[in-house]
């Protein structure tokens, strides 16, 4: 019966995305290609709201049937809804960056309140309790997660495929580690994302928009911290699984900061954006990211979760080739059109 629930969740997301596409077309909520775009065809935006609504409406069902603690549900509901509303308003009319950032921190603080902060972590075999410093770091972690997901939602299907791979991989690891109860929320999210991906797969018929990408980022961040309360090693598992997005976004941000760029301005200098222009299509890049998740990051995350590999060391091993790829594909480099 539980699988019927997940199939229903995916079906709701699929139908909602179709309805949102018609709404976007009727209201002229269209992304028009410009010098900063990675697409060439005007495309409706805001379809990520389907993920938000289907996930948040069905999430309490998990708690009603004791499949998810109510505290986690309240944390996910409040933070996810807040970020989605903020992104939806920004999709419809620009909101100043400082007010968006304030909203991000409020949502992150709400989630951490319900999660109970950040648990002690394992570092080279030692358990480290960071106290209030850990609380501050986890606050910035959640804000960075939701923003980096927004940055990485720039080509067809990429953000959806990443969320799908991360959630399904985490659920598999939970089951193998004997923490199957943790898998329900990521599984629900994966099915709602799959319903949207039908419309978002290259070539996309609708874009996710800030409402969807920010929601996915903060939700994945919350799920990673929730898991750490069950087993400290699981936060490293999540960081490994999200490696493609973390490395590309962070590498690009640091390089632009060092150069003195206005990092809040739109750009096309992420590695995945350079790659999509080099290949001339979005599909090869999106599929490659999915492949990297399955053949590189998932096995390393399994080594941390099941076979005793130190989590921090696992993250370093996972990230080194990703950083090399980011450098190879010029993440954060000045675009030739700008340089000229």
- What does the CA dihedral 238, 244, 247, 249 come to, rounded to 10 degrees? -110
Residue 293 counted as an annotated binding residue: no
* Distance spanning both ends of the chain, measured CA to CA: 60
Taking Cα atoms as reference points, which of 336, 324, 10, 278 lies closest to residue 155? 278
DSSP 211-268: HHHHHHHHHHHHHHHHHHHH-TTHHHHHHHHTHHHHHHHHHHHHHHHHHT--TTS---
Give the sign of the dihedral formed by CA 31, CA 79, CA 184, CA 229.
Answer: positive
Rounded CA separation 145/126 (Å) = 26
* Residue 150 assigned to a binding site: yes
> Peptide bond before 86: cis, by omega within 30 degrees of 0?
no
Task: Count Cβ atoms below 10 Å from residue 266 Cβ, excluding itself.
Answer: 11
Q: Are 168 and 190 in contact (CB under 8 A)?
A: yes
CB half-sphere exposure, 52, CA atoms < 13 A: 28
Per the listing, tokens 């570092």 go with 123
Which helix H or strand E contains 31, and what residues bound it?
Answer: strand 30-31
* Secondary structure of 78-133 as H, E, C letters: HHHHHHHHHHHHHHHCCCCHHHHHHHHHHHHHHHHHHHCCCCCEEECCEEECCHHH
Counting every residue written for the chain, the total comes to 340
Neighbouring C-beta atoms of residue 123, cutoff 10 Å: 15
Task: Pick out the residues of the known binding site for Mg(2+).
Answer: 150, 210
- Binding site: what residues are annotated? 150, 210
């Amino acid at each position: 019966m539980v699988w019927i629930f997940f199939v229903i969740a995916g079906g709701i997301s699929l139908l909602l995305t179709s309805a949102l596409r018609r709404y976007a077309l009727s209201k002229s909520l269209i992304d028009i290609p410009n010098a900063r775009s990675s697409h060439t065809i005007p495309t409706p935006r805001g379809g990520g709201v389907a993920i938000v609504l289907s996930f948040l409406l069905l999430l309490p069902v998990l708690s009603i049937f004791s499949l998810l603690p109510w505290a986690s549900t309240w944390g996910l509901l409040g933070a996810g809804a807040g970020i989605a509303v903020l992104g939806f308003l920004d999709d419809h009319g620009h909101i100043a960056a400082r007010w968006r950032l304030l909203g991000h921190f409020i949502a992150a603080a709400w989630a951490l309140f319900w999660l109970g902060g950040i648990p002690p972590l394992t570092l080279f075999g030692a358990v480290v309790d960071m106290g209030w410093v850990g609380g501050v770091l986890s606050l910035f972690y959640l804000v960075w997660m939701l923003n980096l997901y927004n940055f990485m939602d720039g080509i067809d299907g990429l953000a959806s495929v990443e969320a799908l791979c991360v959630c399904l991989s985490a659920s598999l690891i939970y089951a193998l580690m004997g923490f199957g109860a943790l898998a329900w929320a990521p599984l629900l999210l994966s099915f709602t994302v799959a319903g949207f991906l039908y419309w978002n797969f290259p070539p996309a018929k609708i874009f996710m928009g800030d409402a969807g990408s920010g929601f996915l980022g903060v939700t994945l961040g919350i799920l990673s911290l929730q898991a750490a309360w069950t087993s400290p090693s699981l936060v490293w598992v999540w960081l490994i699984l999200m490696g493609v997005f973390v490395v590309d976004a962070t590498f690009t941000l640091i390089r632009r900061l060092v150069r003195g760029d206005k990092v809040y301005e739109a750009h096309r200098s992420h590695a995945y954006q350079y790659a999509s222009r080099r290949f001339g299509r979005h599909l090869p890049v999106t599929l490659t990211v999915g492949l990297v998740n399955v053949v590189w990051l998932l096995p390393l995350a399994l080594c941390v979760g099941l076979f005793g590999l130190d989590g921090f060391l696992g993250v370093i091993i996972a990230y080194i080739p990703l950083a090399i790829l980011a450098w190879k594909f010029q993440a954060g480099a000045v675009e030739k059109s700008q340089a000229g």
